[in-house]
Amino acid sequence: MDFAIPDHLAEFRETVRRFTESELIPHEDYVEEHDGLPEEVERRIRERAVAIGLNAMGMPEEVGGAGLDVLGQVLVTEELFRALGGVAEAVPSAPGVLLACDEEQRERFLVPCVRGDLQWCFALTEPDTGSDAAGIRTRAELADGTWTINGRKRFISHGDSADFAIVFALTHPDREQDRITAFLVEKGTPGFSVGQLHKTMGHRGYRQAELVFDDCAVPEGNVLGEPGRGFAIARGGLSSGRIMTAARCLGPMARLIDDGLEWAKQRVQFGRPIADYQAIQFMLADCATDLHAARLMTYNAAWAADRGEAPKTVHAKASAAKLFASEALGRVADRVLQIFGGTGYMNETYVERAYRNARIERIWEGTSEIQRIIIARGLLKRGMFS
């Protein structure tokens, strides 16, 4: 296996690092205080991201995307998420599920997302359904060419500001399979409203909302893919989503280690920099080891996806990378906060913010427990996935 990063990706990674440092990180204090960015700042970030090719980086070039392979997307994501998520999420994106759009839908939804003109949200999770996504209760019924949706979604990222939602609803309850349909529901559609805005532990500026559907009428032309095949669309993005979640953990780990090193060198106790003490050195060494292992696992999962390895193998590697990287980030944040001592507990420090933000990574895109189930089942059926 060649562990070298291709030159063009290494160069682009440096471009993204400069973009993150100049366009994203300077706005972190504002986001922490106001739980969002000013509209003009968001617009400028979108424009500058598009200018360097960051918009919809995984989308094919024929629809206006950057056409990056999975490894390229991982490298870019790692750099972007050195900034706090509430700022990094201002970079426009388009989800892979939109590739299921028909020609008319591509012009209305996909292409504007790729350009950064529209914001989307992914509405799957419900009050009583999290990890068991197949058990959703939101329903849609077809009559006279119109689907009527009733139900609630919650913990929907960008749900309050999205221009449209990708909504999953039960449409064929009598079937054993192919029971769920995906819909493209635009803001302003009668019967579609935003409910509660959830106050979260971390990720200021990356708001979570409840979406309410009360006799929401959606035309047949807004079905994404085929009726009844919505869960297949949602499940198709699980591996890439978990790889990208792992990548989002790498950037914070790297920045935490940088901050921990700098603090340990300058902080003097008992007449010596605390970096001289073995207790601090061991914590830094453990942090570096966690980051190195998480990087290798994440890069390998991305490489496997790019090589076209068997989907079940990629799925297992993605689960392992997500599991390890998300839990490693928690360990690194905890150690670095300990290195900072009382200063690390103050809200104005990056380590305090990263410590709060890290906790959700073990929950979304499949909990750590779900990942362990996936890995264990694969081991029992097929053996090790390397």
Looking only at the bridges linking them, the beta strands covering 120-123 and 272-273 are unpaired
Is 365 catalytic? The answer is: yes
Q: To 10 degrees, what angle do helices 238-266 and 70-80 make?
A: 40
Beta-bridge mates of residue 123: 167
**Please, which residues have CB within 8 angstroms of residue 192's CB and are 6 or more apart in sequence?**
149, 165, 185, 186, 211, 212, 213, 216
Look at residues 187, 175, 183, 273 and name the one whose alpha carbon lies nearest to residue 220: 183
Q: List the structure tokens of 2.
A: 């060649």
Dist CA 237 CA 232 (whole Å): 9
Q: Which of 33, 126, 365, 369 is catalytic?
A: 365
Query: Contact 36/207 with Cβ under 8 angstroms?
Result: yes
Task: Quote the DSSP letter at residue 225.
Answer: S
Query: Contact 178/172 with Cβ under 8 angstroms?
Result: yes
Q: 323 to each of 172, 330, 351, how far by Cα in Å?
A: 33, 11, 21
Please identify which residue in the block is written with the tokens 């669309």.
233
Query: Contact 169/149 with Cβ under 8 angstroms?
Result: yes
> Which residues participate in catalysis according to the annotation?
365
